[in-house]
Amino acid sequence: MERLLIRGGTPLCGEIRISGAKNAALPVMAATLLADGPTIVGNIPHLHDVTTTMELLGRLGVELTVHEGMEVEVNTATIKSLQAPYELVKTMRASILVLGPLLARFGEAEVSLPGGCAIGSRPVDIHVDGLRAMGAEIEVADGYIKGRAGRLRGAHIRMDLVSVTGTENLMMAAALAHGTTVLENAAREPEVINLATCINAMGGRVRGAGTSTLTIEGVERLYGVHHRVLPDRIETGTYLVAAAMTGGEVRLKDTAPALVAPLLDKLRDSGAEVEAGRDWVALRMRGRPRAVDLQTAPYPGFPTDMQAQFCALNAISTGAGSVTEGVFENRFMHCLEMQRMGADIRIEGATAQIRGVERLTAAPVIATDLRASASLVLAGLVAEGETRVDRIYHIDRGYECIEEKLAQLGADIQRVPD
Ligand code: EPU
């Protein structure tokens, strides 16, 4: 297993490119299962979760060709299995995204139940109940969600909670159903809109993406297209926070500033100077940031996937800030690791009360989930001494070449074998 060694203290300066969004690439790759002809997906990030998705599609018998510049061509004509096995699903919960498309197009699917997860219980009832409402027969047995259906039927579904992959799964299933489906309390994330755009380009009829009510008129068949994945707003936010924490000056290109508006507001509150153009954003921070208060919520609220990084920012800021997690039950594991680096953090239920300290000190720390790992790398960038971040396979699930990008900005960071 590999680890990262980071020697803190260098302000990050320079320019880097932002990759395609993991959480847009995964649903779009699942949506390729809906199309009759080959689909080409562009701006795919080179990430572990993408490799897992390609492996999963490969297990189903799908033919995959990787073209130059991380364009992946998916041809489903050769499909021979309708099962997503445990050993793949356990490493990536988003594998559940194949359930809707497989049931809708082939009338059958078996997807392993995702196992325990380091960020609170993440059930799949919204996915299963929605598909049942569309006429699928679903049983959970032997650790698998086993579904069967004739042609799915349109239905009126109100989801109890806002679920990103729940909305995406049901949207994909409804795209090939007989009749119209209305999804109420739908997720409004940009990645959901990106998926709707892809399905519509395939010949689907999804309306209302970006609002909390989606209306999906099912069609008989969908066709292969060329679709481009949108830029990663969480990667964008993570590098902006890194620059703010280190008192640096960075410019991020190939991104979409409109998607990170709540993050830019918080960074300005913390004292950063932020400028943005159509596809770039630049940040400069002089001196230490000021601590900020925030509460995570579904889009357009503050993203839960940026909560850990802002905990790291508050940990070295002037003043005190409170960070409330409003999406997941148990997403503060990084705070315990930051305390080991000298951070002053008190967890009270769903809120972390953080009083900034002048400096953190290096320690060996363990990454427990993807965004937690990123926040520990950020803490390492400002800590005195050499921080060792273990279990970095979590980082590789969601950040393309993180040590190369940070090194390009001047950070003293290296990946070493165990
Ligand atoms: N929930 C249920 N029942 C369900 C589904 C969800 O109770 O059937 C609950 C969850 O337990 C959670 C809340 O609803 O409390 C929201 O979860 P959601 O379903 O929206 O999460 P997700 O779709 O599994 C996606 C992202 C996550 C991101 C969340 C929230 C993908 C592949 N994953 O997960 O990304 O944190 O939305 O924005 O899109 C990450 O990239 O690090 C990551 C974890």
The pair of three-digit structure tokens given for residue 363, joined into one six-digit string: 């320690």
Which pair of structure tokens corresponds to residue 140?
């959970």
Query: If DSSP codes are grouped into helix, strand and coil, which group holds residue 105?
Result: helix
| Distance in Å, CA 93 to ligand 1 centroid | 9
Ligand 1 centroid to Cα of residue 122, in Å, is 7
Q: In whole angstroms, what is the distance from residue 320 CA to residue 207 CA?
A: 43
pLDDT at 117: 52
Q: Residue 258 contacts by C-beta under 8 Å, 6 or more apart in sequence?
A: none
Q: For residues 259 and 23, what is the distance between their CA atoms, to the nearest angstrom? A: 13
Which atom of ligand 1 lies closest to the CA of 303? Answer: 38
Can you tell me whether residue 243 is helix, strand or coil? helix
**Alpha carbon nearest to ligand 1 atom 31, residue:** 23
pLDDT of amino acid 119:
58
For ligand 1, pick from 26, 29, 52, 165 the residue to mutate: most ligand atoms within 8 Å of CB.
165
| Ligand 1, residues at Cβ distance < 6 Å | 22-23, 26, 93-94, 121-127, 161, 163-166, 304-305, 327-328, 370-371, 398
Q: Which amino acid is at 206?
A: V
State which amino acid sits at residue 167.
T
Question: Tell me, what's the pLDDT at 318?
Answer: 98
CB-CB contact of 206 with 171 (8 Å) = yes
Cα-Cα-Cα-Cα dihedral sign, residues 144, 150, 151, 155? negative
Residue 77 three-state SS? helix
Per-residue pLDDT tens digits of the chain, which is 418 residues long: 899 999 999 999 999 999 999 999 999 999 999 999 999 999 999 999 999 999 999 999 999 999 988 899 999 999 999 999 999 988 898 999 999 999 999 999 999 988 655 556 678 999 999 999 999 999 998 889 999 999 999 999 999 999 999 999 999 999 999 999 999 999 999 999 999 999 999 999 999 999 999 999 999 999 999 999 999 999 999 999 999 999 999 999 999 999 999 999 999 999 999 999 999 999 999 999 999 999 999 999 999 999 999 999 999 999 999 999 999 988 999 999 999 999 999 999 999 999 999 999 999 999 888 999 999 999 999 999 999 999 888 999 999 999 999 999 999 999 999 7
Torsions phi, psi for 409 (to 5 deg): -90, 5
Pocket-testing residue among 23, 47, 48, ligand 1, by greatest number of atoms within 8 A of Cβ: 23
Closest ligand 1 atom, residue 398 Cα = 41
Strands (E), 25-175: 39-42, 63-67, 71-75, 83-84, 108-112, 137-141, 144-148, 156-158
